[in-house]
Amino acid sequence: MAPEQFAIGIDVGGTNMRAAQISPSGAILQKRSIAGSRDPAVALQLIKGLASEMNAASACAIGIGVPGRVNGWTGDIISGGFLDLSGVDLKQEMASTFGVATLVANDCSMALIGEYRRGAAKGLRNAVMMTIGTGIGGAVMECGQIVNGRRSAGQLGHLVVNLGGHPCPCGQRGCVETESSGTSLKRHILEAGYGPDMRFEPLLQQAEAGDTTAIGVLHAWAGPLRAAINTLCAAFDPEVVVLGGGMGQAATRALEFLPELETWYRAEVRHAELGDDAGVIGAGLAALDLKPKPAPDGGRRLVMINGVPASGKSGLSHALSEKTGWPVLALDTIKNPFLELIETVDRPFNRILGRASYKSIFSIIGESAPGSTFIVDAWFGFQPLEVLREHIARAGVTRVVEVWCHAPPDVIGHRYLTRASQRLAGHPGAAYVPELMELAHRAEPCRLGPVLPVDTTTPLRVDMILDWVKDHLAPSDSQSIF
């Protein structure tokens, strides 16, 4: 990637907002920090203003980390705390304003990506991060990927560590956020008899001098945090737990005052290295990942959108193409112009055209530039698997992933029947439906590479599917199509 290319990373908070131009290596080229706002409408204008200052029109993409629960697959903001942007379609607002691909995610997830690529978790693929501040944010990374779960996994501040504890805005009691956040430290200090002006550094100095009251405050504050960390180690077995946020370093030091605990569940605890820049760096790098990259070995890459006719392949193919810019090649796209010009095409000749179109698709791929990626929308099972292997080899394809579109046979039959009258003469008509339903019963993926089954009777989670495709197109020593 050329050095002049950059993405914009934006870290949104109610107190402060930061934005930066981020290079492909994660370097900050330009940075700006401003006071935030708790008003969603004002906050949106501030975010747009920061993007403009960072020259959004020239950016490859924009990445934004926001507080609260964010759907990790779609970027929809579900709920917020100090700043609640759940009523704002931030992704669409930014994309329509600047015409640039935009990613919206949880702020701690973005910070963890920053620490993974440039900071305390660099070189490690399994990590947990907790950001300690007014509240506690969290994110989990497994095999180099943020764990999103159904929508918004990683709400680590809401691990319950005290069943009889203080009520939390989430509806539970005794969340670690109510026991070990910066806000709760103030409560522990007051409960110990200190005045409201007592800060962490003098408290730490007193504890280091052996003051039992100060040590008691640190135990009360850090003990629930260690319980949460040990629970996370039991659940995810990370290589490292990174503590960030405004009180992250303080929390790391406070943990040192707890008595040694023998447990199976432990991992190294590190203070975040990137400080306040973790969020903008991570958001910028995550945004740069939206830009498709050529195959690193120079070979071509094939995304097989496979399934019987009427299985929902075409809609998914074009949705993926819109997000990536990868071209779609489909059997009907090549075959239909011939059907328009050739009269009285019977089914045997239609099959010949299908085989020719199949071959043409791979001829086009073979003539493309090395490193190109293609989405091919086809029912790959109508030809022997060896024919497909030969086409792939001749086209110079070195990476294959397969998305297997499926639906119940009666749904497949109904879909085909409703559109049969709209198809060009030469395609099988309504009489083909019973045969198609039988085909849907026994059809299977080709399995020449990783396979993702997709039930097309449910709403398509295009962003999740695309994440899977990109991840599995990456080089792997274990992948072979021969």
Categorize the per-residue pLDDT at 430 as very low, low, confident or very high, splitting at 50, 70 and 90. Answer: confident
Q: How confident is the model at residue 480 (pLDDT cuts 50, 70, 90)?
A: very low
Tell me what the mean pLDDT of segment 40-55 comes to: 94
pLDDT at 4 over 70: no
Q: How confident is the model at residue 421 (pLDDT cuts 50, 70, 90)?
A: low
What pLDDT does 302 receive?
95
Do 102 and 78 reside in the same domain of the chain?
yes
Between residues 1 and 395, which one has the greater pLDDT? 395
Is residue 249 located within the same domain as residue 334? no
Asked if residue 222 and residue 74 are part of one domain, the reply reads no
Same domain flag for 268 and 280: no
At 113, the pLDDT band (50, 70, 90 cuts) reads very high
pLDDT tens-digit map of 343-379: 665 656 667 777 888 888 999 999 998 889 999 998 8
| 3-state SS class at 59 | coil
How far apart, in Å, are the Cα atoms of 470 and each of 26, 75, 88, 294, 389? 20, 17, 28, 11, 22
**Within a domain: residue 38?**
yes
Q: Is the pLDDT of residue 294 over 80?
A: no
d(CA 12, CA 84): 11
CATH code where residue 102 lies: 3.30.420.40
- Would residue 57 count as lying in a domain? yes
pLDDT over 60 at 476, yes or no: no
Domain that holds residue 205: 120-272
Domain co-membership, 253 together with 286 = no
Considering the domain boundaries, does residue 35 fall inside one? yes
- Whether 456 maps to a domain, the answer reads yes
**Chain-wide mean pLDDT for the chain?**
87
Q: Which residue matches tokens 């990613």?
A: 103
- Section 451-459 average pLDDT: 93
| Residue 338 pLDDT | 74
pTM for the full predicted model = 0.63
Residue 136 and residue 253 in one domain: yes
Q: Do residue 402 and residue 373 come from a single domain?
A: yes
Q: Is the pLDDT of residue 6 over 80?
A: yes
Number of domains in the chain: 3
pLDDT tens string 277-287: 999 999 999 99
pLDDT at 422: 63
CA neighbor of 137 nearest in space, from 17, 243, 232: 243
pLDDT band at 82 (very low <50, low <70, confident <90, very high): confident
Q: Identify whether 146 is part of a domain.
A: yes
- The CB-side HSE value for 22 (13 A sphere, CA atoms) comes to 32
Q: Confirm if 91 and 10 have CB atoms less than 8 A apart.
A: no
61-83: b or e for each residue (b if 16 or more CB lie within 10 Å)?
bbbbbbbbbbbbbbbbbeebbeb
- Flag whether 236 is in a domain: yes
Say if 481 falls within a structural domain. no
CA atoms within 13 Å, Cβ hemisphere of 263: 15
